[in-house]
Chain A
């Protein structure tokens, strides 16, 4: 017997993926998608789902892993949103002609320009036209059901195209709703395992998909892929009907109509806003107005024939858009509806609305107002403005706290109590002085302290902070100001060692005289403690939970110092917030090196994080000190090739003293503890050996 649970949209999607017995899951965190991959990590770590879970080093790689796995014949799921989806874009496009029927979950969030964690469709909009089947879910139940349906549609050999599912960030991703859970056995019968027609497996197959074709084939192929997309409508309807027969819920193909009988005016909506739309229609109907609603369930293939049929029966249509096609005066859905009607002979007023951007709510009252406007247009047979922006007044803001303050960072930030990052920001800016430009790839430090400093603090795209720095430096150099300003990053460990590594490596190799400061809290803390390349071995994070089958991270932390030393940059140093004079001295040295134009200075600062490492917040500095005394972290520098350990305890304290107070290592067995102790000792001995040689090899 099927059962229900009250769960978030992200969990509904994760359950759908589990029920579909997905085989490969590449994952990379980004709010508000992250909990999807966290739930999946838990399923895998506890042995509830037998899947390959891959911790990707960035979204571009993440999608590439998905395409690769699907090419090799696996059923694949990955998810992202916003900036991450934009970063994936190239690989997203590639999935189409490789005929990889994977599912890409998109927990919609604004695409910057202006950044926001809140949802709108500006992220998924640029991805619509690549050849995917794109579904927009309205409720958490629809999220789960469509996960199963989309695999069945995509894996049908008449389709064999990748699919995308949009679930609104926050409104669905983090909202609890009742969701009926189908039984695994029923799902297994309804959705058989994926059998790729031509997997890239030379042991069973001598044909494989190719990406490069002669120019003359391109136009015909575009026609053929368009035909496949258009023909997929039949499969979508078939699968929906069959789903309804098996599970008792169906959604009605590409559009869903609500109270359209006898309607003179229509509102066209998509996604979670539809629910508010329904309530507004109820209200208007109760007042005797003849108005209905059409929900666009699929944006691609676009339900143009359905829209034409419905439009022929009404006098005016209003399209509510949560996305803006800049330069066309209107929103994406509006332009699509307009395009569908132009050659159809249906000539009725078409009103576009753009609202709810950046995560702003679209309340029932607004839907009611829009409904009224469309009814007016139906009556007048014309519209005032083709597109209207439904805007709201800014609520009054708190007066900024004005105080006399000598510090380079104002107090009163959003940072957690006991946050170590702010200690680093403060001493960094204090040492660098006012003529500093901070380039900040997304991290918790930027979110919390970027608003509270007295120097330009520029948000850079995650994978390219070193490139932003380079650009700023070169412009300063051209304007003859290179020696007057200091350019530094304030990057996290993910922005340094994972997604930001390529850009950083490029800047190091070019010898850009800039500072790279990495504050290392050993996980993606901004999105909520996901494992990064810098997470130490065995540490539990939300994507490497201490599960029954797999407990914690299974591989070692990257050695960034050695990676940077391979670039032979003039200055590399590690520091800790618990040793402030040492930290400040190293920052000064970095300034000296970069001002002399010698090249990139790399500072790697250890930052204990009470929230992410699960220790009491008064122990931030103590834990940092223990890390150095146990050699879980070493203070060292490579100054133009001269290697030096700055702090050498006579005898290392046992590693347990550092690990035991931290919740992330609570699950460690005696054997694992011994392993870590041995590992630390080996590394420490190696460093002592290295110091004896003085010159770092390769310099």
Chain B
């Protein structure tokens, strides 16, 4: 009985270490813009972002990765200090 992995044929595997998505930023129509002055760094936008595209936690100002933001506007809708505004994006 061979138990040498090199003889295995046709076994399709998923490699957890190299998984990743695609740049979905081009789905966006409106883009979220954070007003730094109003932001109190509560971290709620990062908690609720459906795309996990916002890096941030309490006491750390959030940063939106625009390569992945789909522009859904959940962050702007939920921000308790109304610090995020959805603006029409001018695409270059």
Binding site for B on A (CB under 8 A): 114, 398, 400-403, 406-407, 409-415, 417-420, 422-423, 426, 451-457, 577, 580, 610, 616-622
- Assess whether A398 is in contact with B72, with CB atoms less than 8 Å apart: no
> Which 5 pairs, one residue from A and one from B, show the smallest C-beta to C-beta distance?
A412-B21, A618-B73, A418-B72, A411-B68, A417-B70
B-side contacts of A577, CB under 8 Å: 48
User: Can you identify 18 A-B contacts, CB atoms within 8 angstroms?
Assistant: A403-B20, A410-B20, A411-B24, A411-B67, A411-B68, A412-B22, A412-B24, A412-B51, A413-B21, A417-B71, A418-B72, A418-B74, A419-B50, A420-B50, A454-B16, A457-B14, A618-B77, A619-B77
Given A412-B23, A620-B72, 5 other A-B residues pairs in contact with their CB atoms under 8 A: A401-B20, A407-B52, A411-B65, A423-B49, A456-B16
For the complex, what is the distance from the CA of A240 to the CA of B14, rounded to whole Å?
A: 50
- Assess whether B50 is in contact with A620, with CB atoms less than 8 Å apart: yes
- Assess whether A451 is in contact with B19, with CB atoms less than 8 Å apart: yes
- Assess whether B77 is in contact with A411, with CB atoms less than 8 Å apart: no
For the complex, what is the distance from the CA of A440 to the CA of B36, rounded to whole Å?
A: 40
For the complex, what is the distance from the CA of A620 to the CA of B49, rounded to whole Å?
A: 10
**Residues of B56-80 contacting chain A, CB below 8 A:** 65, 67-68, 70-74, 76-78
Q: Name, among A411, A418, A451, A616, the residue most crowded by chain B CB atoms within 10 Å (CB to CB).
A: A411
For the complex, what is the distance from the CA of A685 to the CA of B2, rounded to whole Å?
A: 65
B-side contacts of A580, CB under 8 Å: 47-48
| In the complex, residue of chain B having the shortest beta-carbon distance to the beta carbon of A411 | B68
B-side contacts of A403, CB under 8 Å: 20, 65
- Assess whether A454 is in contact with B19, with CB atoms less than 8 Å apart: yes
Q: Is residue B86 within 8 Å, beta carbon to beta carbon, of the partner chain?
A: yes
For the complex, what is the distance from the CA of A174 to the CA of B76, rounded to whole Å?
A: 38
A-side contacts of B49, CB under 8 Å: 423
- Assess whether B20 is in contact with A422, with CB atoms less than 8 Å apart: no
- Assess whether A617 is in contact with B20, with CB atoms less than 8 Å apart: no
For the complex, what is the distance from the CA of A423 to the CA of B44, rounded to whole Å?
A: 12
Contact with B21, one of A114, A410, A426 (Cβ below 8 angstroms): A410
| In the complex, residue of chain A having the shortest beta-carbon distance to the beta carbon of B53 | A411
A-side contacts of B72, CB under 8 Å: 417-418, 610, 617-618, 620
**Residues of B17-61 contacting chain A, CB below 8 A:** 17-24, 27, 47-53, 55
- Assess whether A412 is in contact with B86, with CB atoms less than 8 Å apart: no
For the complex, what is the distance from the CA of A6 to the CA of B43, rounded to whole Å?
A: 52
For the complex, what is the distance from the CA of A418 to the CA of B65, rounded to whole Å?
A: 16
CB distance from A519 to the nearest CB of B (A): 13
- Assess whether B77 is in contact with A413, with CB atoms less than 8 Å apart: no
DSSP class of B's interface residues: helix, strand, loop or mixed?
Answer: loop
For the complex, what is the distance from the CA of A622 to the CA of B72, rounded to whole Å?
A: 13
For the complex, what is the distance from the CA of A533 to the CA of B18, rounded to whole Å?
A: 38
Q: Is residue B1 within 8 Å, beta carbon to beta carbon, of the partner chain?
A: no
Q: Is residue B8 within 8 Å, beta carbon to beta carbon, of the partner chain?
A: no
CB distance from A415 to the nearest CB of B (A): 7
Q: Is residue B12 within 8 Å, beta carbon to beta carbon, of the partner chain?
A: yes
| In the complex, residue of chain A having the shortest beta-carbon distance to the beta carbon of B68 | A411
CB distance from A454 to the nearest CB of B (A): 5
- Assess whether A422 is in contact with B47, with CB atoms less than 8 Å apart: no
- Assess whether A398 is in contact with B77, with CB atoms less than 8 Å apart: no
CB distance from B47 to the nearest CB of A (A): 6
CB distance from A402 to the nearest CB of B (A): 6
- Assess whether B52 is in contact with A411, with CB atoms less than 8 Å apart: yes
For the complex, what is the distance from the CA of A414 to the CA of B24, rounded to whole Å?
A: 8
- Assess whether B47 is in contact with A411, with CB atoms less than 8 Å apart: no
CB distance from B83 to the nearest CB of A (A): 15
- Assess whether B19 is in contact with A453, with CB atoms less than 8 Å apart: yes
- Assess whether A418 is in contact with B20, with CB atoms less than 8 Å apart: no
- Assess whether A422 is in contact with B78, with CB atoms less than 8 Å apart: no
- Assess whether B50 is in contact with A114, with CB atoms less than 8 Å apart: no
| In the complex, residue of chain A having the shortest beta-carbon distance to the beta carbon of B17 | A454
A-side contacts of B50, CB under 8 Å: 415, 417-420, 422-423, 620
- Assess whether A400 is in contact with B51, with CB atoms less than 8 Å apart: no
| In the complex, residue of chain A having the shortest beta-carbon distance to the beta carbon of B44 | A580
- Assess whether A618 is in contact with B48, with CB atoms less than 8 Å apart: no
Known: A411-B65, A412-B22. A114 touches B16 (CB 8 A): no
For the complex, what is the distance from the CA of A451 to the CA of B18, rounded to whole Å?
A: 10
CB distance from B37 to the nearest CB of A (A): 22
A-side contacts of B20, CB under 8 Å: 400-403, 410, 412, 452
| In the complex, residue of chain A having the shortest beta-carbon distance to the beta carbon of B54 | A411
CB distance from A485 to the nearest CB of B (A): 14
For the complex, what is the distance from the CA of A184 to the CA of B73, rounded to whole Å?
A: 50
Contact with B48, one of A406, A423, A456 (Cβ below 8 angstroms): A423
Known: A412-B68, A423-B48, A621-B78. A418 touches B73 (CB 8 A): yes
For the complex, what is the distance from the CA of A419 to the CA of B21, rounded to whole Å?
A: 15
CB distance from A122 to the nearest CB of B (A): 16
| In the complex, residue of chain B having the shortest beta-carbon distance to the beta carbon of A113 | B12
CB distance from B23 to the nearest CB of A (A): 6
A-side contacts of B70, CB under 8 Å: 417-418
CB distance from B87 to the nearest CB of A (A): 13
Known: A412-B68, A417-B70, A454-B16. A618 touches B23 (CB 8 A): no
CB distance from A160 to the nearest CB of B (A): 44
- Assess whether A410 is in contact with B16, with CB atoms less than 8 Å apart: no
Q: Name, among B14, B74, B78, the residue most crowded by chain A CB atoms within 10 Å (CB to CB).
A: B74
| In the complex, residue of chain B having the shortest beta-carbon distance to the beta carbon of A454 | B16
| In the complex, residue of chain B having the shortest beta-carbon distance to the beta carbon of A453 | B19
- Assess whether B74 is in contact with A621, with CB atoms less than 8 Å apart: yes
- Assess whether A621 is in contact with B22, with CB atoms less than 8 Å apart: no
- Assess whether B19 is in contact with A410, with CB atoms less than 8 Å apart: yes
- Assess whether B52 is in contact with A426, with CB atoms less than 8 Å apart: yes
For the complex, what is the distance from the CA of A451 to the CA of B16, rounded to whole Å?
A: 9
B-side contacts of A456, CB under 8 Å: 16
CB distance from A325 to the nearest CB of B (A): 18
B-side contacts of A426, CB under 8 Å: 52
CB distance from B70 to the nearest CB of A (A): 4
CB distance from B26 to the nearest CB of A (A): 11
CB distance from A615 to the nearest CB of B (A): 11
CB distance from A575 to the nearest CB of B (A): 14
Known: A455-B16, A618-B77. A422 touches B86 (CB 8 A): no
A-side contacts of B53, CB under 8 Å: 411
A-side contacts of B17, CB under 8 Å: 454
CB distance from B20 to the nearest CB of A (A): 4
- Assess whether B76 is in contact with A618, with CB atoms less than 8 Å apart: yes
Q: Name, among A413, A417, A454, the residue most crowded by chain B CB atoms within 10 Å (CB to CB).
A: A417
CB distance from B60 to the nearest CB of A (A): 12
For the complex, what is the distance from the CA of A398 to the CA of B23, rounded to whole Å?
A: 10
| In the complex, residue of chain B having the shortest beta-carbon distance to the beta carbon of A399 | B20
Known: A412-B22, A412-B24. A114 touches B12 (CB 8 A): yes
